Structure 1
Amino acid sequence: MRKYIPNILSRLNLLLRSSYDPDHDIGGVTDPFLQVHLLTLLRTVTHTDKKMSEDVMDTLTQIATNTESNKNPGNSVLYECVRTIMCIETQSPVHRLAINILGKFLLNRDNNIRYVALNALCNAVTANNDAIQRHRNQIKECLKDADITIRTRALDLIYALTNEENIVDLVQDLLKFCDMSSNEPEFQQDLAAKICMVVERYAPNSRWHIDTVTQVMAKVGSLVMEDAITSLYVIIARTPELQMYSTYKLFAMVSQEELNSDPLRRLCAWCIGEYGTKLTTVEGAQEARIDENIRYVPFTQQQVLDCLKKIIEHTSSSETTKAVIEELLKKYNDSVAVELQQRSVEFTELLQKATNTVKQEVLKAMPAPQVQFEDTKSESKEVPSEDEKPPVAHESDSESESTEKQQTDSKKISSTKESPIFPDNPIVQPKPVDPFPDLISNLNNNQQDIIPSIVAFNKNGVDVTFHFAKLGYSSSSSLVTLQISNQLGITQVNAVFRNINAFSINDFSFMVAVPKYMALEIQPSTGKQLLALGQNYQSQRFRLTNHFHGQKPLVIKIQISYTDQTGNKVVETAQVANFPPNC
């Protein structure tokens, strides 16, 4: 077909320059059906040929600039022209021209035209982010459309456009749409989830993060994602300078009678229980601009009990205050609600019979949770079947027979579905973090240091993150469960894969190669499909043994491969040497 490309270009130029022909003219465009089919054929035959792509640039530019766009026939030709330009691998100013045409489509009154424009922009956002940023205002206007499909696609596009530079402005606009979408809980939930994810990823500072997510919680109530709420617990606990501010701020927000947000009340009750002594100072109140007239707020009873048992152990609490709190606790000793009765009895027994040492240990301030968060959408996670798991391969040599045997055995095990590498420590399904654990679990809840994560690969919208932790540490969030250890010379890693492109990728594969002085054991991946815009993640665990620990550093080579939206196979390799010092 390539030999006919000059004929295709000649025919397109002839149609573009031809005079009025009543037999073929539709809406001022000469034979738009033929033009669309010729452009489709041109896109197909020039997709992977850069030389051919350069040859057709002039023709595509002429079509894009001279075709009328005030009627549907012209719009159909322009849209097909834009699709052809976007499939050309050679980047050129014509790409910007195509983005501008799609921007004009967003101003069209026809919902169909606006939707196809949004869809095309979503597919082009990775390679043409800067050009699309110029049309942010038109994209935001689409969020006001009555058509839910247009609003949903516009939201996906804004999510993909958000970065460190525009995060503040875009989030402020999205917060306004939270109020406008109050009658559509499904869209409001998706909107709140996207806001929380971009805030988690690009927040300029912790205070802005807290203020923004609490605004979302106040607007959408229980629709907010659980991992976003858990993230606030972690941030507040890890940021002592914001604990007073957060406590006053939350107390003021839940004191509003019209507020109906259970997650916000839970967070407020937890802050008062942990940092209640800071409510007696005026600095936090002035900083958070709290009104003096505080009204009654209906908290969840279980959380109030947790709050009371913390307050009673504060050294500043008077005997009268402690007596009042003890009476409040006793009221629930006979409650028909099992949770209330259990907490009430536990707290009463603890306060009356436990020694001071036990009280101090149980009721002391909770350590900052050691949780790793990923800004992905957990509800879209897909759990593949065993048959869908990709084959795992790795390369490793050895200096001794025992090491060689270990590597051979690990290679066999990694390819056998019935025999996982770590049968005593499997990858478990993620569970939400409980910010209000029971008393007994608090006794052994010792704070442990976590090894910082590293980004091992980040290219073309695909990133690979390595997570590490010290021996015996295990933490879980609603998105990721980490059970990772580090012994002398042994490093166990959880590699998390994410795709932030506007298109999904399939057949994802991850492989590791190590030098001769290291050994490798690797488990199968959790799946081989990565959805668009970070809507899911996949992970794969492997263990590195450094036989020259302390003498030679950890260095590995990784290879990832996947199939993109055009069906092409993409293979990328990288060397990873930036392991943390304590690995």
Structure 2
Amino acid sequence: MALSGMRGLSVFISEIRNCQNKEQERLRVDKELGHIRTRFKNEKGLTPYDKKKYVWKMLYIFMLGYDVDFGHMEAVSLISAPKYPEKQVGYLVTSCLLNENHDFLRLAINTVRNDIIGRNETFQCLALTLVGNIGGREFAESLAPDVQKLLISSSCRPLVRKKAALCLLRLFRKNPDVVNVDGWSDRMTQLLDERNLGVLTSSMSLFVALVSNNHEAYWSCLPKCVKVLERLAKNQDIPQEYTYYGIPSPWLQVKTMRALQYFPTVEDPNTRRSLFDVLQRILMGTDVVKNVNKNNASHAVLFEALALVMHLDAEKEMMSQCVALLGKFIAVREPNIRYLGLENMTRMLMVTDVQDIIKGHQAQIITSLKDPDISIRRRALDLLYGMCDVSNAKDIVEELLQYLGTADFTMREELALKAAILAEKFAPDLSWYVDVILQLIDKAGDFVSDDIWFRVVQFVTNNEDLQPYAALKAREYLDKPAIHETMVKVSAYLLGEYSHLLARRPGCSPKEIFGIIHEKLPTVSTPTVSILLSTYAKILMHSQPPDPELQKSIWAIFSKYETCIDVEIQQRAVEYIALSRKGAALMDILAEMPKFPERESSLIKKAEDTEGDTAELSAIKLRAQQASSALVVTDHRAANDPPQVGQLSMVKIPSINNMENNYGDQEATRANGIFGEGESQPHPPTNGHAPNAEILGDLLSPLAIEGPPSVSGNGILSEDDALALAPVGDQENAVKPMGDIAERFHALCLKDSGVLYEDPYVQIGIKAEWRAHQGRIVLFLGNKTTSSLDAVQVAILPPFHLKLELSSVPEIIPPRAQVQCPLEVVNLRASRDVAVLDLSYKFGTKLVDNKLRLPAVLNKFFQPIPVSAEEFFPQWRSLAAPPLKLQEVVRGVRPMSLGDMASLLNSWRLIVCPGLDPNPSNLVATTTFYSETTQAMLCLVRIETDPADRTQLRMTVASGDPTLTFELKEFIKEQLISIPTASRPAVTQQPQLTTPPSSASDPGALLAGLL
């Protein structure tokens, strides 16, 4: 950009660079835009030099990110200028400021065409560059023939032809009809004979677009492409400027091989032999070196060559060579190369002849499954999944099961789903398959979809020899102290149907089986209660004649649930207690389930449907698709419907495509425990008090207030002004605060007294008291100087959810004096927005204005009340789905021990309830929230940590109010992520006034009444 001689433009750029902040820059830009607008209105007085200068300024302002909504006509008019400097500015600024649909561009089509067909090569290049950047359909229809003439002209310099090729590519993409297929086959053949590599590279880009649209018309160009590759591979007649780290034009090599992949095959034997010779040279000549740039270029060529080898279905020897080369790549330290090696090896699986060779790298692929980079782990998982067959299924599935225990939350569901599919497809025997699925449920119950355990039940039901073994394994898992609810479901079903086959084994009598299953009843969700009731009926049926004590216990349970509010449970209880009185006839009524009809597994069908994109085969994503849809419970008997107990009521459990209680978060995770029901993806509440994600006040970030607020007589900002609060950056005052304002605020969020703000002249202390939905904050304003503070003004900018009333504040604070300002607070509803204290005063000639967040935050309206298991679980189960129960995986958490996290929750007025969750890695906490508009609301929180990775956890929050649930979840999340010192406030000293060292008085006594 030649700016010499434009002193005004240089001065403007210097002034912009010297601006101290964004506001000064904006004011200077606005001033300049106003000046330019004025000058453009008086166009008669503008010289070409002035117009050029102002258009340059417009471009510079546009590049700074400001909107330039005028002057477009002046920029376009410069295109028709006779001199190069003005024409250059016109073309450049037009291509930057306008897009292809702008009306002003139509005015320039004729001028652009005149420059293209003219004899001035410089003007031709400017015009072709403009069209290549922003040309649309109108340009394509008007200019395509002229651009084509330039491209095939023998009299044009290579520079012009190169730009013409790229310009024609743009026009072809906008309107493919501008290139006549019949006439362009021979012309492309001639262009591919071009010796100038610049023109050839541009022409190859055009050729790739043409052949992707219709390869049949360009068969004659295929040998030419091979000739180009031969020339590059042998480094024949390649200028030095087109050699990149010793590699002849890697960009042209990649484009050429990509073009060849659009042809279905290479039929001519000589051409095919020449092509494979080139590919062999590329495969043999590529290795990993220390230079990153050379690696990137050589590997781009190599991986395109691999894609071409697979496309052409090369001989097995070359395929084996490709696999061996990829095997070297997946073993190097550079993660990008490992990733590409795994990805391309997965593509090689489509070639049947090399699958056995790929198996030779199984150990290294399994090692990649434990790589620190999750992208590499995913590619390794996809590759293991694709290469699995009967010969190696046992080893691969066992590795996946072993890895499942340490895998991060984001991969566990995909791991579980793929392990289940592989176990079903390649199981050497059905007992091994049952072992695998039960291990999956035990290690990752939350990540095992219902389809998986439905399928196990179908296999067991249809194979009599498998039934005793499956029942015995289910009995063994029930002995564990903490098992997932899915394990309770499958174990209860199997033992209900087949526990009588274990009657002679120790610990397997009907009474013992009933006892160990019944222990799980208080902790399961409503659908599982239905299954357990059916299991009890089956146990009673198999124990005919019944044990009186066992019969009495089961009848007591049925009687209890005869009045259950859930219709399904109530119906089962009523029917079972009536049937159980029929004596021996119960054996016929509750006979064993018949065999299921043999149908294809829905899991395997899904796997086959998505075989082209194995990376997308994830149950996490299948569940995520359900998050926004209605929760539906199916009641039909399909291939993977839930197994039924007896021939009575249908157990309403959804299939994977109709889930009642599933996680919507794609990264949803949960450690094994007793909380069996799933929760969908959290959505912000949609009721009248729903917080807007755009304007939610961030409890942990500074607030900004632009412009002077209008304050009512009681010192409270009006609602309209309060809503106008915007997030702000640093406040510029001549007087700098002492200490970290943010740390002081965070400390006061956890305690009720301390110093909120301090500078050399004033100190603001706080003492607060909170009861239910009301609070009282006393502000202590202390003058630290020997002079008075004048023009003191205090205003409160309240958020919508708080009602605040501030007492009057004196305009003058005498020397060394302290004033108290009570502030009454009433909480109307749940929100994380914070009130802002706007304090301004004058000390001498200095005017100080500070806006400080007040610690009237969400947790101040909590009252920690411990609850028992009998109180907790009914409430937890009743809040079964969003928006009353929300769940989210939180990453980037400050690592801490479980004890520290419990202390942190207690500091937020949430009380940790030990013993509610048998998993020692989980925490359960409760609190009660108070507001004026609602009754006291119990809040339930469950935090599941990953012992292997303390930087992530999964949090589930439930309450009877959607807004409260969302706000509490976000509050805890922000505290865990955004405040690394939240549990250890930096400001712990008692508030006291300080004075310069020269003062002999004791200012600390001024705040003696603060605490």
Q: Shared fold (TM-score greater than 0.5)?
A: yes
Give the 3 Å change call, closer, same or farther, for CA 7–82 of structure 1 in structure 2.
Answer: same
Give the 3 Å change call, closer, same or farther, for CA 367–296 of structure 1 in structure 2.
Answer: closer
Q: CA deviation at 1:248?
A: 2.2
| 2:466 counterpart residue number | 242
Note if 1:118 corresponds to 2:338. no
**Could you tell me which amino acid in structure 2 is paired with residue 132 of structure 1?**
I
Q: Give % identity.
A: 25
Secondary structure of 1:325's aligned partner = helix
Rounded to whole Å, the distance in 2 between the matches of 1:183 and 1:328 is: 38
Q: Which protein has the larger Cα radius of gyration, Structure 1 or Structure 2?
A: 2
Secondary structure of 2:596's aligned partner = coil
Q: Is the 8 A contact 1:50 1:90 kept in 2?
A: no
| 2:770 counterpart residue number | none
Give the alignment of 1:541-556 within 5 angstroms: none
1:242-292: CA deviation from partner (whole Å, max 9, x where unpaired): 322222211221221132x2121111111221122233312898xxxx9xx
Rounded to whole Å, the distance in 2 between the matches of 1:16 and 1:130 is: 39
1:544-572: CA deviation from partner (whole Å, max 9, x where unpaired): xxxxxxxxxxxxxxxxxxxxxxxxxxxxx
Rounded to whole Å, the distance in 2 between the matches of 1:244 and 1:349 is: 30
Give the 3 Å change call, closer, same or farther, for CA 49–117 of structure 1 in structure 2.
Answer: farther
Note if 1:229 corresponds to 2:453. yes
| 1:29 counterpart residue number | 247
Q: CA deviation at 1:147?
A: 3.8
**Could you tell me which amino acid in structure 2 is paired with residue 62 of structure 1?**
R
Give the 3 Å change call, closer, same or farther, for CA 204–31 of structure 1 in structure 2.
Answer: same
TM-score, normalised relative to structure 2 = 0.35
| 2:358 counterpart residue number | 132
Secondary structure of 1:64's aligned partner = helix
**Could you tell me which amino acid in structure 2 is paired with residue 130 of structure 1?**
D
Q: 2:546 aligns with which of 317, 323, 326?
A: 317
Secondary structure of 2:565's aligned partner = coil
| 2:283 counterpart residue number | 64
Secondary structure of 1:369's aligned partner = coil
| 1:4 counterpart residue number | 224
Secondary structure of 2:470's aligned partner = helix
Rounded to whole Å, the distance in 1 between the matches of 2:302 and 2:606 is: 37
Q: Is the 8 A contact 1:54 1:90 kept in 2?
A: no
**Could you tell me which amino acid in structure 2 is paired with residue 122 of structure 1?**
T
Q: CA deviation at 1:308?
A: 1.5
| 2:594 counterpart residue number | 367
Give the alignment of 1:362-511 within 5 angstroms: 362-374=589-601, 376=603, 432-436=640-644, 439-440=647-648
**Could you tell me which amino acid in structure 2 is paired with residue 363 of structure 1?**
L
| 1:96 counterpart residue number | 320
Q: Is the 8 A contact 1:64 1:78 kept in 2?
A: yes
Rounded to whole Å, the distance in 1 between the matches of 2:580 and 2:603 is: 42
Rounded to whole Å, the distance in 2 between the matches of 1:16 and 1:258 is: 71
| 1:214 counterpart residue number | 438
Secondary structure of 1:435's aligned partner = coil
Note if 1:302 corresponds to 2:302. no
Q: Is the 8 A contact 1:371 1:477 kept in 2?
A: no
Q: CA deviation at 1:222?
A: 3.3
**Could you tell me which amino acid in structure 1 is paired with residue 503 of structure 2?**
T
Rounded to whole Å, the distance in 1 between the matches of 2:226 and 2:596 is: 65
Q: CA deviation at 1:161?
A: 0.8
Q: CA deviation at 1:25?
A: 4.7
Give the 3 Å change call, closer, same or farther, for CA 131–351 of structure 1 in structure 2.
Answer: same
| 1:197 counterpart residue number | 421
Rounded to whole Å, the distance in 2 between the matches of 1:22 and 1:90 is: 33
| 2:712 counterpart residue number | none
Q: 1:280 aligns with which of 498, 503, 511?
A: 503
Secondary structure of 2:600's aligned partner = coil
Rounded to whole Å, the distance in 2 between the matches of 1:45 and 1:152 is: 32
Q: CA deviation at 1:24?
A: 4.8
Rounded to whole Å, the distance in 2 between the matches of 1:150 and 1:16 is: 38
Rounded to whole Å, the distance in 2 between the matches of 1:73 and 1:139 is: 25
Give the 3 Å change call, closer, same or farther, for CA 441–308 of structure 1 in structure 2.
Answer: closer
Rounded to whole Å, the distance in 2 between the matches of 1:295 and 1:230 is: 19
Rounded to whole Å, the distance in 2 between the matches of 1:167 and 1:382 is: 21
Rounded to whole Å, the distance in 1 between the matches of 2:308 and 2:364 is: 23
Rounded to whole Å, the distance in 2 between the matches of 1:255 and 1:372 is: 33
RMSD: 3.6
Q: Is the 8 A contact 1:46 1:53 kept in 2?
A: no
Give the 3 Å change call, closer, same or farther, for CA 434–85 of structure 1 in structure 2.
Answer: closer
- Structure 2 unaligned spans of 5+: 1-220, 290-294, 522-527, 611-635, 658-1011
1:38-71: CA deviation from partner (whole Å, max 9, x where unpaired): 4445555683426232332222212211234323
Give the 3 Å change call, closer, same or farther, for CA 372–44 of structure 1 in structure 2.
Answer: closer
Q: Is the 8 A contact 1:197 1:375 kept in 2?
A: no
Give the 3 Å change call, closer, same or farther, for CA 32–312 of structure 1 in structure 2.
Answer: same
Rounded to whole Å, the distance in 1 between the matches of 2:568 and 2:535 is: 15
The size of the alignment, in residue pairs, is 390
Q: Is the 8 A contact 1:48 1:89 kept in 2?
A: no
Note if 1:151 corresponds to 2:373. no
Runs of 4+ in 1 over 6 A off after TM superposition: 293-296, 378-383, 476-479
Q: Is the 8 A contact 2:602 2:640 kept in 1?
A: no
Q: Is the 8 A contact 1:227 1:478 kept in 2?
A: yes
Q: CA deviation at 1:230?
A: 1.3
The higher relative CO (CA closer than 8 Å, separation ≥ 6) is in 1
**Could you tell me which amino acid in structure 2 is paired with residue 281 of structure 1?**
R
Rounded to whole Å, the distance in 2 between the matches of 1:38 and 1:265 is: 59
| 1:503 counterpart residue number | none
Q: CA deviation at 1:379?
A: 6.8
Secondary structure of 2:531's aligned partner = helix
Secondary structure of 2:555's aligned partner = helix
Q: 1:333 aligns with which of 545, 562, 565?
A: 562
Rounded to whole Å, the distance in 1 between the matches of 2:421 and 2:318 is: 33
Give the 3 Å change call, closer, same or farther, for CA 478–372 of structure 1 in structure 2.
Answer: farther
- Structure 1 unaligned spans of 5+: 384-427, 443-475, 480-583
Q: CA deviation at 1:204?
A: 0.5
Q: 2:475 aligns with which of 245, 251, 254?
A: 251
**Could you tell me which amino acid in structure 2 is paired with residue 153 of structure 1?**
R
Give the 3 Å change call, closer, same or farther, for CA 277–16 of structure 1 in structure 2.
Answer: farther
| 1:548 counterpart residue number | none
Rounded to whole Å, the distance in 1 between the matches of 2:529 and 2:564 is: 11
Secondary structure of 1:317's aligned partner = coil
Q: CA deviation at 1:83?
A: 2.0
1:305-333: CA deviation from partner (whole Å, max 9, x where unpaired): 21221122223632333233222322222
